[in-house]
Amino acid sequence: MEINNRITAILNDNYGIEATSIEQRPGGWSALAFFVEDKCKKYFLKVYNKRKPSIVPWIDAIDRYTPLVKWLYHHTDLKNNLVNPIFTKLKSNKCEDEQYVYLLSEYIEGTTIADKQLSQNQVNELAKILGILHKNTSNIPNELKQQQVNESFNIDFCEYLSSFINNDLDNRDDNVLEIVKPYKSTLLEKINRMRYLSNTLKSKPYQFVLSHADAHNWNVMQGKYLMLIDWECLKLAPQEQDLILIITEPYAGQFLNEYRKYMKYESPDFDAFEFYYLKRKLEDIWEWIKNLRFEGLVKSEEVTLEILKLNLDACTRTESFRSEIQKVVN
């Protein structure tokens, strides 16, 4: 069944919405994105392919994070900075057919920051959003908090990547082999470093905060207000989980000054910063290798290979990471 016909039926049956317009928009790696309109309102629809193994964790997360995002929307000062999810007629967070899972929310007029730099005002707004989010951790109802993932510093993906490099990389003479092979020793070295950091962090006591865990520019929209979107990675984790995506930017100092107006941050953990920095790079590398070799492409092969190469290059430049961020944070 053609995707627009599927969406028309899903919206009618599950939300009582008679769509007059359905337009596909640029989406992320986990889901297709659609702008939907009926006679009265506009909506945003995410469509997840449940036949793709790497998408299953994002689908499973919907029933965990959606009620919490709704709670944040209604009970904190973040109402203007969040997209409000819409329940089905049966009060479910999502609906599905044999191939896809559908998640509907209110539509917000705005533009994704994407590859552009944040302005000074946007830096301050993002710092405020994350500061308020972290500060409200203690106010979240226990039943919602207990549903969330607690950071375990798990690195199973590193073992899969290591196994692939050692056992499967050379099995096929393709673009993956050509691009990844020169970085083989670097990747194995970083995987060993991740094992050390994982074991170190597991032994430390932490006061976890509620973390968006994916607060990069592609998940930030500017409309009337700055919006933080795509909450699939929501978890309870050290503050460094959210700060790592900002701390390497030129505006890191300004961000931290503003963030500390809303949330205490006196003892940075540089092991955690390094862990989350390397985790991001290696996790993405493994995801794109899977897309290219095993699961099929989300983006074009050209784009996927280009981003894979950029992250492989980044792994060769991590030696000075700790000293550089210490200058910013302290």
**Residues 140, 230: one domain?**
yes
Which of these ranges, 42-46, 152-156, 317-321, has the smallest mean pLDDT? Answer: 317-321
Contact between residue 121 and residue 224 where contact means Cβ atoms under 8 Å apart? no
Using DSSP, state whether 3 is helix, strand or coil. Answer: helix
- Alpha-carbon gap, residue 96 to 147, rounded angstroms: 22
Which amino acid, one-letter code, is at 72? L
The continuous run of DSSP H or E covering 6 comes out as helix 3-15
Q: Which of 270, 264, 256 is nearest to 324 (CA)?
A: 270
pLDDT of residue 181: 97
Question: Does residue 86 form part of some domain?
Answer: yes
CATH number of the CATH domain containing 202: 3.90.1200.10
Question: Does residue 113 form part of some domain?
Answer: no
| Boundary-marking domain end, from 50, 75, 108 | 108
Output the six-digit token pair for 75: 């009970």
Q: Which of 222, 186, 124, 147 is nearest to 311 (CA)?
A: 186
Asked if the model's pLDDT at residue 1 lies above 60, the reply is no
pLDDT of residue 322: 87
- Alpha-carbon gap, residue 73 to 86, rounded angstroms: 12
The number of domains in the chain is 2
**Residues 190, 301: one domain?**
yes
Question: Does residue 181 form part of some domain?
Answer: yes
Asked if the model's pLDDT at residue 50 lies above 60, the reply is yes
pLDDT in tens, 240-271: 999 999 998 999 999 999 999 999 999 999 99
Which amino acid, one-letter code, is at 225? Y
Question: Does residue 202 form part of some domain?
Answer: yes
Question: Does residue 35 form part of some domain?
Answer: yes
Question: Does residue 114 form part of some domain?
Answer: no
Beta-bridge partners for 95? 102
Contact between residue 213 and residue 245 where contact means Cβ atoms under 8 Å apart? no
Question: Does residue 42 form part of some domain?
Answer: yes
**Residues 124, 148: one domain?**
yes
**Residues 300, 205: one domain?**
yes
Output the six-digit token pair for 321: 């990471």
- Alpha-carbon gap, residue 66 to 312, rounded angstroms: 34
Q: Which of 169, 201, 182, 180 is nearest to 272 (CA)?
A: 201
**Residues 83, 156: one domain?**
no
pLDDT of residue 52: 85
Output the six-digit token pair for 187: 């990747």
Which of these ranges, 9-18, 19-28, 187-196, 225-234, has the smallest mean pLDDT? Answer: 19-28
C-alpha distances (whole Å) from 101 to each of 32, 129, 298 are 10, 29, 16
- Alpha-carbon gap, residue 289 to 266, rounded angstroms: 38
**Residues 230, 292: one domain?**
yes
Contact between residue 295 and residue 52 where contact means Cβ atoms under 8 Å apart? yes
**Residues 55, 176: one domain?**
no
173's CB contacts (< 8 A; 6+ apart) are: none
Contact between residue 325 and residue 273 where contact means Cβ atoms under 8 Å apart? yes
Using DSSP, state whether 187 is helix, strand or coil. Answer: helix
- The reply to whether the predicted model has a pTM over 0.85 is yes
| Boundary-marking domain end, from 108, 128, 157 | 108
CATH number of the CATH domain containing 15: 3.30.200.20
**Residues 89, 153: one domain?**
no
Q: What's the alpha-carbon Rg for the chain, to the nearest Å?
A: 20
What's the rounded mean pLDDT across residues 159-188? 97
**Residues 28, 77: one domain?**
yes
Residue with tokens 């707004």: 125
Output the six-digit token pair for 182: 């020169």
**Residues 210, 130: one domain?**
yes
Q: Which domain holds residue 276?
A: 120-329
| Boundary-marking domain end, from 108, 138, 167 | 108
pLDDT in tens, 195-239: 999 999 999 999 999 999 999 999 999 999 999 999 999 999 999
Mean confidence (pLDDT) of the chain: 94
**Residues 163, 27: one domain?**
no
Using DSSP, state whether 58 is helix, strand or coil. Answer: helix
pLDDT of residue 197: 98
Confidence class for position 330, pLDDT limits 50, 70, 90: confident
What's the rounded mean pLDDT across residues 24-51? 91
**Residues 17, 162: one domain?**
no
